[in-house]
Amino acid sequence: MATIRIDDDLKRDADKMFDEVGMNTSVAVRIFLTKFVKTGKFPFDIETPSFQPTVETLKAFKETERFIEKNDLTNQEDLNSYFERMKKEAVGEAHAEL
């Protein structure tokens, strides 16, 4: 048995949200730790049933879907090249503000 120190407000908020998905904080922590130990990764997302994207977010999703449908968005750039390009662009933007 272990004791974990958690801020009272955070614990109270977490208890309310976990209650919405039918569990308590102890069960949620046990699920998290078990999954983490088995996979070596941070586990899954758990959302409360009351979570809904904002109207603005939904519009952005739709706009993105339309953009993807209209355009060829294939990208052959590897991740390292992408980050190098972003660094160069950021440096360029920083100099533009001088």
pLDDT in tens, 35-60: 889 988 777 776 777 777 889 988 99
Asked, for residue 3, whether it belongs to a domain, the answer is no
In a domain, 60, yes or no: yes
pLDDT score for 46 = 66
Residue 65 lies in a domain: yes
Residue 18 has pLDDT above 70, yes or no: yes
User: Mean pLDDT in the chain?
Assistant: 83
Total number of domains in the chain: 2
Split at pLDDT 50, 70, 90, the class of 77 is confident
The percent of residues in the chain predicted with pLDDT above 90, rounded, is 23
Q: Are residues 60 and 85 in the same domain?
A: yes
What is the extent of the structural domain holding 21?
8-39
Rounding to the nearest 10 degrees, give the CA dihedral for residues 38, 43, 49, 53.
-160
Residues 59 and 92 in one domain: yes
